[in-house]
Amino acid sequence: MALIPVAEATDERLADYVRLRDVSLRRSLETEQGLFIAEGEKVIRRALEAGYRPRSFLLAERWLAGLADLLEQHPGVPVYVVDETLAEWVTGFHVHRGALASLHRETRHGVTEVLAGDRLVVCEDVVDHTNVGAILRSAAGLGFDGCLLAPRAADPLYRRSVKVSMGAVFSLPWARLEDWEDAVPMLGRAGFLTVALALTEDAVDLSEVVARVRAEAVSGRRPRVALLLGTEGAGLSARWVEQAEVVARIPMARGIDSLNVAAAAAVACYALGPAGTAS
Amino acid sequence: MALIPVAEATDERLADYVRLRDVSLRRSLETEQGLFIAEGEKVIRRALEAGYRPRSFLLAERWLAGLADLLEQHPGVPVYVVDETLAEWVTGFHVHRGALASLHRETRHGVTEVLAGDRLVVCEDVVDHTNVGAILRSAAGLGFDGCLLAPRAADPLYRRSVKVSMGAVFSLPWARLEDWEDAVPMLGRAGFLTVALALTEDAVDLSEVVARVRAEAVSGRRPRVALLLGTEGAGLSARWVEQAEVVARIPMARGIDSLNVAAAAAVACYALGPAGTAS
């Protein structure tokens, strides 16, 4: 282990970790430098197990013991040891779990590879990192095979997405769509039943779509489903809703107008996934 | 409307709004003063429609127009008009939606009233305000009738819970349990099927519980379900898991060890709610 005590907040070697809450700064910094940040022992461990290459670690001393085995597996990687006040000063927030890692960004999957899966979530303009992370975690846990993201959807490798996904972002294949306009027809041509989740007047009940997918499975066809999820607040674009083969709604009670997109995704992934559609 | 421009961050009249991100300060301040904070036009509107009485409003000037009708309905209530920098200085964060209201806390429902519902979520030590708010929103939207909270669960009227619930906290009846030890047996005596959501080895698949509840409905009995949800990370206590009549698990794929508690709640409320158990 290359333990390097750092005592100055302005130390250049901490440049990967500055102002982690400043989304626009981080977006340009991480893109230019080709890095992303993992936070907390469990998530760092999952990133490394998934083969992402570390650039450096930033730890408070009391976290060294818990991560010692991981650090030993990466002997050439600098481990910056700081006190918690300095960590807070550099990163701009209280680092509850005391451990951060900076890792090399990689494009692991292309759209074509993701299309090899049978059940996909497709995020249109889901712009909140917490929601993207939560959707990836639920999709993976509930047996979906991959995720496609429209050009404006939030970055799955942003610190907050990674953390909320609890590392699912490392195990579920995902890719960025380049073409928003043709995305839904493209999914149709690839053999997917495109299901827009939306609370429009003419939407069918989600259970009807579940019955249709289950019938496919019973008849021996491989059910292939692309679940389309829209932006927070306004939902899916009119284009995607019109282009989708089915528009499905989760019935709402008590005058509640909608679910949060991550909650809706969990419900729909459960209903349309292996658990909900087993014959 | 009593519009009152305020230019000093230390003005005593803004005392209800100080340091909104400081959870421990807010907990004592709100309890002592008997207030809670609603944030954003839509949520403020829902709080007032639900009959909560405002103490004051805090607005940036550009938000006046959008709330004018509401403010006119409460002519005696002071409306503090501040610039956004001052609002940020007082509250400790950037108030995106530019409008805050301080309202009188009320205990609206007792445990007995909540027990009149047929489908309840019961939060054991769900300590994260975002999760409590998300659970209330999903439970209400998916047709559950109420929520009970163990003594250590997070406060549904904390600003963040209220906001994430999108006001569901005002429409779904909820109450605080005083007795953690006897809560599950009490629910059993009250006629509820107590369902612990947990990923234990001997848990049954959630779909088995759905089938059981649906069979009750078919046989003409009123299905009554209490869904028990545990703390983030560690989940339900051993006591509640042992005391529950059924332990149910949502099957997990891809090596994902669990869902976030709010996602799990959404899935289970959908499956065990009117949509999932209709005969």
The predicted-structure confidence for A164-204, as pLDDT tens digits, reads as follows 999 999 999 999 999 999 999 999 999 999 999 999 989 99
Q: What's the gap between Cα B216 and its chain centre?
A: 29
Out of B137, B253, B262, name the one closest to residue A256 (CB).
B137
Q: Give the per-residue pLDDT at B58.
A: 95
For residue B74 the two structure tokens come to 């409460």
Question: What's CA B133's distance to the chain center, in Å?
Answer: 4
Listed in sequence order, the residues at least 6 apart from A65 whose beta carbon sits closer than 8 Å to its beta carbon are none
Contacts of B50 (CB under 8 A, 6+ apart): B167, B170, B171
pLDDT, tens only, B93-149: 877 667 999 999 999 999 999 999 999 999 999 999 999 999 999 999 999 999 999
Collapsed DSSP state (helix, strand, coil) of residue B93: coil
Per-residue exposure over B263-275, b if at least 16 CB sit within 10 Å of its own CB, e if not: bbbbbbbbbbbbb
Contact A31, A24 (CB under 8 A): no
Cα angle B190, B198, B129; round to 5: 80
Q: Assign domain B111-277 one CATH number from 3.40.47.10, 3.30.200.20, 3.40.1280.10, 1.10.10.10.
A: 3.40.1280.10
Residue among A33, A28, A27, A31 at smallest CA distance from A12: A33
DSSP string, A62-118: GGHHHHHHHHHT-TTSEEEEE-HHHHHHHHSS--TT-EEEEEE------HHHHTTSS
Query: Rounded to the nearest 5°, which phi and psi values hold at B43?
Result: -70, -40
Q: Residue A94 has what pLDDT?
A: 79
**pLDDT score for A97:** 66
Decide if B9 touches A, using CB distance below 8 A.
Answer: no
The reported pLDDT for the residue numbered A183 is 98
Instruction: Specify whether the CB–CB gap between A81 and A64 falls below 8 A.
Output: yes
CB neighbourhood size of B68 (10 A): 11
Determine the residue type at A234. A
What are the structure tokens assigned to A140, written together?
């993976």
**CA distance linking residue A207 with residue B275, whole number of Å:** 8
Say which residue, A95 or B73, is predicted with more confidence.
B73
Query: What are the DSSP calls for B30-56, one per residue?
Result: HHHHTEEEEESHHHHHHHHHTTPPEEE
Question: Which pLDDT does position B217 carry in this prediction?
Answer: 83
A2-104 CATH choice from 3.40.605.10, 3.40.50.300, 3.30.465.10, 3.30.1330.30: 3.30.1330.30
Q: Are A44 and A99 in contact (CB under 8 A)?
A: yes
Residues of chain A with Cβ-Cβ distance to B255 below 8 Å are 171
Phi and psi at residue A80, to the nearest 5°: -85, 120
Q: Do A263 and B168 touch (CB under 8 A)?
A: no
The CA-based angle B89-B91-B94, given to 5 degrees, is 75
CB B118 within 8 A of CB A247: no
For chain B, the first-to-last Cα distance in angstroms comes to: 53
Where in chain A are the domains? 2-104, 111-277
Name every chain A residue with its beta carbon within 8 A of the beta carbon of B253.
140-144, 273-274
CA distance B251 to A138: 11
Query: Which value does ipTM take for this structure?
Result: 0.94
Nearest to B259 among A137, A257, A258 (CB): A137
Q: Which two tokens stand for residue B221?
A: 């009995």
Region of residue B120 (phi > 0: left; psi between -120 and 50: alpha; otherwise: beta): beta
Predicted confidence at residue B205, as pLDDT, reads: 97
Q: φ and ψ at B167, to 5 degrees?
A: 90, 0
* Contact of A184 with A194, CB cutoff 8 Å: yes
How many angstroms separate the CA atoms of B122 and B142, rounded?
Answer: 15
Dump strand ranges (E) for chain B. 2-5, 35-39, 54-60, 78-82, 99-104, 119-123, 146-149, 174-176, 193-197, 204-205, 225-229, 246-249
Q: Are A169 and A161 in contact (CB under 8 A)?
A: yes
Q: Are B132 and B232 in contact (CB under 8 A)?
A: no
- Pick B94 or A14 by higher pLDDT: A14
Please name the member of B206, B259, B275 whose beta carbon is closest to the beta carbon of A266.
B259
Instruction: Produce one character per residue of A43-82: b if its CB has 16 or more CB atoms within 10 Å, e if not.
Output: bbbbbbeeebebbbbbbbeebbeebeebbeebeebbbbbb
Q: Is A205 on the interface with B (CB under 8 A)?
A: yes
Q: Provide the pLDDT for residue B96.
A: 67
Residue in A closest to B267 by C-alpha:
A267
pLDDT in tens, A253-277: 989 999 999 999 999 999 999 988 8
- B19: which 2 tokens? 């340091």
pLDDT score for A96:
67
A-chain CB neighbours of B258 within 8 Å are: 141
User: Which parts of chain B register pLDDT below 50?
Assistant: none
**Average of per-residue pLDDT values in chain A:** 94
Yes or no: say if B260 and A136 are a contact pair by the CB < 8 Å rule: no
Chain A residues whose beta carbon lies within 8 Å of the beta carbon of residue B264:
266
Using one digit for the tens of pLDDT, what is the confidence trace for A141-166?
Answer: 999 999 999 999 999 999 999 999 99
Angle (deg, nearest 10), helices B261-272 and A129-141: 60
A113 pLDDT tier (thresholds 50, 70, 90): very high
Task: Give the model's pLDDT for residue B55.
Answer: 97
Question: What is the Cα–Cα distance from A103 to A111, expressed in whole angstroms?
Answer: 23
Nearest by CB: B253 against A143, A164, A251: A143
With residue A225 as reference, give the H or E element that holds it. strand A225-229
Identify which of A24, A265, A250 has the alpha carbon closest to the alpha carbon of residue A123.
Answer: A265
Give the tens place of pLDDT for each residue, A81-90: 999 888 888 9
pLDDT of residue A278 exceeding 90:
no
Residue B81 has what pLDDT? 95
Predicted pLDDT of residue B233:
86
Is A227 a residue whose pLDDT tops 70? yes
Residues 231-270 of A with CB under 8 A from B: 250-260, 262-264, 266-267, 270
- Please give the pLDDT value at position B279: 61
Q: Which two tokens stand for residue A146?
A: 């991959």
- 10 Å Cβ neighbour count for B78? 18
